[in-house]
Structure 1
Amino acid sequence: MNLYADFLQNQMKVVHKWKHYFPVYERHFQNWVNKTVTVLEIGCGRGGSLQMWKRYFGPHATIVGIDIEPRCKNYEEDQISVRIGGQQDPAFLQSVLDEFGPPDIVIDDGSHVMSHIAATFRYLYLKLPKNGVYLVEDLHTAYWPEYEGGFAREGSFIEMAKCLIDELNADHTLGVVPVSEFSKTTTSMHFYDSMVVFERGVHTRKFAPMTGTDPV
């Protein structure tokens, strides 16, 4: 299924997404299509993206949306559940985990407020399974004051993600950056226009073999 083609042909609830997001979604989500997968979308909008994920991931997917707006409960249907609460509230997030289990994929399209994004990431990320994917979108707001952002502003999620690059490479910092659970369980970080994607995994022993034959 081509996700962007599905978006263009959508006749169901409204979906509002930047065009350049779609190749990113497919690049990082394609391995989960038609698998048993739990997808947590933070921010339900007008309900269309929940339906889009249901179509994309297929009949074995559980789609969970969270939002602060009670009207979003009306978006529930087969395979789609919605829970009402704040993304920055750890007790609420834990209640969602208790009910549905750890999500395989998180898509943060919620309040876009920097402190909310950071709080959600800190609470949820290490609870994802070892092959989980955590995607934060609309991070152009990290540069806008009304979302607690600003260029190089301490506390923005972009600045937080920049620091996590060092944590990803902690093994090579000669002890300057301690090796953390993030270091041990994150295999990659991907930066795009307005998006950051984190992929979890298990690190094998690091070594650098050499092959080939030197000319005589």
Structure 2
Amino acid sequence: METNAQESESRKAAGKRFAESLTMPSPLPAADPGRLESFFDRNTTGPGIWKWRHYFPIYERHFGRFAGNGPRVMEIGVYSGGSLRMWRDYFGPGAQIYGLDIEPACLAYEDSGTTVFIGDQADRSFLRKLIAETPDGFDIVIDDGGHHAHQQITAFEELFPHLRPGGVYLCEDIHRSTHHFWDYLSGLSGELHEMAERSYDFPANPVQTTVASVAIYPFVAVVEKRSSGLDRLEAPKHGAEWL
């Protein structure tokens, strides 16, 4: 009889075998570029932007509802500053844009609507000071920083609670299935599926109360925060006739 750990590994292996058996589908029609990809393609001079092209539809899917609504946006990893300009163009003049980078030269990208913090995303003390200086929280956090699991995990644990209700935390460049941020995310998202034994009405756990969804894309994970409360998980029966 397999233990739970052995069965879990067996199921993972079965999933990998199925993935390896899949064949390439017939080519799909190319999607029209959205606003972000169009901005990227126009950005041939000035501050640089370096993004995987398949990220743009992901951004549009999860960030679209914030465009034009004055969101508070934090990007970890300013680099050459071009993406700060892209977010400003996309979210509109009412947005407050924040950047975080370890390179002091990135302060050059500050302006009246953009604040840049200099520090290490893996430094909890620094992040807590940043949180204290942004008491209104963030609607969106984009982690395009150091890309190492310990950096991503530390930043997530400190900044996800600082998201406002309905906020979005997007972590990108999680390359390869062996990246340990995937292991971390598996442990977190697994709590969404926990339930009381033999019960169809029970209190939600802290993850179910806080996290609305976890979405996974090539190299990208998106964790959305709930915009309204969820105190209990219940499955009532309605109707009078049952087999």
Same-fold call, TM > 0.5? yes
Q: The TM-score by the shorter chain falls in which range? A: 0.7 to 0.9
Match of 1:125 in 2: 160
Q: For 1:185-204, what aligned pairs fall within 5 Å after superposition?
A: 185-201=210-226, 202-204=228-230
Distance in 1 (CA, whole Å) between partners of 2:57 and 2:123 is: 31
Distance in 2 (CA, whole Å) between partners of 1:5 and 1:99 is: 34
State which drifts further: 158-167 or 189-198: 158-167
Q: Greater Rg, structure 1 or structure 2?
A: 2
Query: Secondary structure at 2:146's aligned position in 1?
Result: coil
Which structure 1 segments of 5+ residues have no match?
144-149
Query: Secondary structure at 1:110's aligned position in 2?
Result: coil
CA deviation after TM superposition for structure 1 residue 207, in Å: 4.0
Distance in 2 (CA, whole Å) between partners of 1:6 and 1:36 is: 19
Distance in 2 (CA, whole Å) between partners of 1:180 and 1:66 is: 32
Match of 1:160 among 184, 197, 204: 184
1:85 and 2:119 correspond: yes
Match of 1:24 in 2: 58
Distance in 2 (CA, whole Å) between partners of 1:91 and 1:114 is: 18
CA deviation after TM superposition for structure 1 residue 213, in Å: 9.9
Which string of whole-angstrom CA distances, capped at 9 and with x for unpartnered residues, describes residues 21-58 of structure 1?
A: 00000000011111121111001011000110011100
1:187 and 1:203 in contact (8 A); partners too? no
Which structure 2 segments of 5+ residues have no match?
1-33
TM-score under structure 2 length normalisation:
0.75
C-alpha spacing 1:192/1:52, structure 2 compared with 1 (3 Å):
same
Instruction: Give identity over the alignment, percent.
Output: 39
Which string of whole-angstrom CA distances, capped at 9 and with x for unpartnered residues, describes residues 55-80 of structure 1?
A: 11001111110111011111112311
Count of equivalent residues: 201
TM-score under structure 1 length normalisation:
0.84
Distance in 2 (CA, whole Å) between partners of 1:126 and 1:97 is: 10
CA deviation after TM superposition for structure 1 residue 203, in Å: 4.3
Q: For 1:89-168, what aligned pairs fall within 5 Å after superposition?
A: 89-101=123-135, 102-140=137-175, 143=176, 151=178, 156-168=180-192
